[in-house]
């Protein structure tokens, strides 16, 4: 049976009229290499709290992912920022792309305070460094939709969506976007080229698939 791999990105949101993770998903649809024994599904998700559970439930039924790798934008990221911990919290001040603001800070009342990524982060970091790509790890995925999706994906908080391996990767703006950002702000930001973004994402996918296939075979993951 093939490994079922889901890769998601986010659409635009306030402050980011073009989301690099959406660009990434579009590139993966066109240019992702074939993976033996893998069924790949890609989706761009809206930056909207209220629609997220229904979309994840539908994706679970359609894709039934064994692996879910979620990408999103963090302008403070210095490269591929591998998020280790999802927290049961949402900002009560930041509106989503639909203008909605959560009414309670907890994502899941009575749910676990935090959940860990189950992606093979050490192996991913080693591969990205070997490719000459910037990588960092983080214990703080924020309190916006990125953390919300990360938490729901790792905890199985949405009925029908329970990947065995799940995690979140933040990426910075693309280099081509910096010219449209006020210079003082842009001077503090890191960036990736579109090709670097694609190359790093494919490497992450390869490591995760290899780990899942090794687990199925009863061996060790790389």
* Closest to 106 (Cα-Cα) out of 143, 72, 146, 141: 143
Nearest-angstrom CA–CA distance, 153 and 158: 8
157's tokens: 């908080």
Asked if residue 222 has pLDDT above 80, the reply is no
* Closest to 41 (Cα-Cα) out of 72, 10, 64, 58: 64
End-to-end CA distance of the chain: 21
pLDDT for position 36: 85
What pairs with residue 161 in β-bridges? 158
pLDDT for position 217: 79
Q: How confident is the model at residue 3 (pLDDT cuts 50, 70, 90)?
A: very high
Give the predicted TM-score (pTM) of the model: 0.95
pLDDT for position 51: 97
| Average pLDDT for 37-49 | 97
The secondary element (H helix, E strand) that includes residue 191 is strand 191-192
The pLDDT tens digits for 114-153 are 999 999 999 999 999 999 999 999 999 999 999 999 999 9
Q: Catalytic residue numbers?
A: 83, 146, 170
Q: How confident is the model at residue 1 (pLDDT cuts 50, 70, 90)?
A: confident
The pLDDT tens digits for 160-202 are 999 999 999 999 999 999 998 889 989 999 999 999 999 999 9
Q: Look up residue 155 and give its DSSP letter.
A: H
Nearest-angstrom CA–CA distance, 3 and 72: 23
pLDDT for position 221: 40
Helix-then-strand count for the chain, H and E: 6, 10
Nearest-angstrom CA–CA distance, 144 and 96: 8
Kindly report which listed range (28-37, 80-89, 152-161, 213-222) carries the lowest average pLDDT score.
213-222
Question: Which value, in Å, is the radius of gyration of the alpha carbons in the chain?
Answer: 17
The secondary element (H helix, E strand) that includes residue 209 is helix 194-216
Asked if residue 112 has pLDDT above 80, the reply is yes
CATH class of 3-216: alpha beta
């Amino acid at each position: 049976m093939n490994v079922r791999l889901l890769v998601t990105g986010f659409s635009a949101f306030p402050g980011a009229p073009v989301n690099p993770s959406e660009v990434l998903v579009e590139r993966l649809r066109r240019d992702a290499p074939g993976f033996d024994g893998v069924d790949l599904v890609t989706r761009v998700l809206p930056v909207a709290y209220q629609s997220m559970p229904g979309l994840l439930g539908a994706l679970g039924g359609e894709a039934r992912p064994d692996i879910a790798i979620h990408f999103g934008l963090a302008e403070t990221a210095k490269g591929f920022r591998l998020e280790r911990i999802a927290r049961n919290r949402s900002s009560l001040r930041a509106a989503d792309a639909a203008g909605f603001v959560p009414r309670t800070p907890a994502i899941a009342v009575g749910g676990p305070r935090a959940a860990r990524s189950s992606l093979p982060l050490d192996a991913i970091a080693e591969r990205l460094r070997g490719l000459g790509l910037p990588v960092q790890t983080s214990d703080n995925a924020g309190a916006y939709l990125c953390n919300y999706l990360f938490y729901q994906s790792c905890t199985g908080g949405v009925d029908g969506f329970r990947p065995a391996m799940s995690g979140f990767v933040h990426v910075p703006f693309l280099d081509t976007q910096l010219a449209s950002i006020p210079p003082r702000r842009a001077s503090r930001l890191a960036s990736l080229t579109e090709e670097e973004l694609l190359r790093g994402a494919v490497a992450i996918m390869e490591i995760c698939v290899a780990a899942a296939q090794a687990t199925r075979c009863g061996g060790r993951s790389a």
